[in-house]
Amino acid sequence: MTTQPPAITLKHTYYRCRLGRRQLDGLFATASAGFSTDAVEISTERHNRIFRAPALDHLVAAVRSAPLPGDPDQWSNLTFTAQEASGKCAVSVQLMPEHVEVTVTGLDPTWVYGADAQIRLFLEDEAVGGSSKSRSEAHRKMRSAMGGAFLWTFMIVYAVVWYPGSRVGAPPGATGAEWVNKPLPLGSLLVLAMVALYFAVRTVQHWARDRAGRGRLAVTGELPAGTWWKRLSTAEQLSAVGLLVTALATLGTLVSAGADVFKSD
C-alpha cells in the first residue's frame, strides 16, 4: 500500500492591488488554469448574507437583484475558490481593497509552485501594482519629506519669533547692556523658505503617489489608468492642490512676518 505524499500549501499576502473588472477576469483565469468549470466558485458577503456563483457575471447579477441596502457596485470583499473533487489541488484567493490573500494547496510540488508563481507574477505586474510590502516606497519617502518640511519650517519660525530677540555677538566679559541684537538677514530667511517649500512639495507629491497606488477593488467597473495623477480621484487632486497652496501661503506669511521684524530692527 503506497502512502500518499503530504500536501504542500503556499500562502502569500499582497498589498496595494488595483483590481478592476478586467484585472479580476485575468486573475481568475490565471488562478483557475487546469481546473474544470464545475470546480470554480466565486462568493461575496454583504450584510451577513453570502452570495455564491460559478462565474463573476452571475455573482454580480445576484447581488444587484438582491433587496439589500447600499450601493451594489461597491464591494468590500470577494473570494475565489477552485478545488478538484479529488482534493489533489486547490486555489483560494480572498480579495479586499486593502490586500489579497492567496493560498495554493496540492500534492504535486511542481504544480503548487508553478500555480503560485503565475498568480504572483499577475498580482505584482505593473498594471496591478501588488507587493508583499504593506507600505509603499512613496509612503516612506513621504514621511521623510514631511520630516524635512517640519524641520525647516521650525527653523523659519525660530528665525522670525526667537532669533531677532536673542542676544548674540557679545564679546567675552561683556555686560548685558553691551549685548546686541543681530537679526537673521532676510536673504537667509528666503533660503530657508525655499528649502521648506521644496520639502513640502515633495511631501504632497509622494502623498499623491501613495494614494494613486493604494489597493482598489472595483468588481463592476474599470479603474483609471495612466500616470499617478490620472489615477487620483477629483477630490484627491483638489486636496493635493489645496495642500500646496496652504504650504505656500504659510511660508509666505512667515517670510512676510520676518521681513516686518527685520524692518523694525
Instruction: State residue 212's pLDDT score.
Output: 85
Considering only CA atoms, which of 169, 49, 31 is closest in space to residue 103? 31
Question: Residue 183: pLDDT above 70?
Answer: no
Average pLDDT over residues 46-58: 93
Name the pTM for this structure.
0.76
Q: What is the pLDDT of residue 2?
A: 56
Comparison of pLDDT for 69 and 79, the residue scoring more: 79
Q: Which domains does the chain have, with CATH numbers?
A: 8-123 (3.30.310), 137-264 (no CATH)
> Contact at 8 Å (CB) between 203 and 146?
yes
Instruction: For residues 57-71, give the mean pLDDT.
Output: 91
Q: Taking a C-beta distance cutoff of 8 angstroms, is the pair 112, 10 a contact?
A: yes
66: pLDDT strictly greater than 70: yes
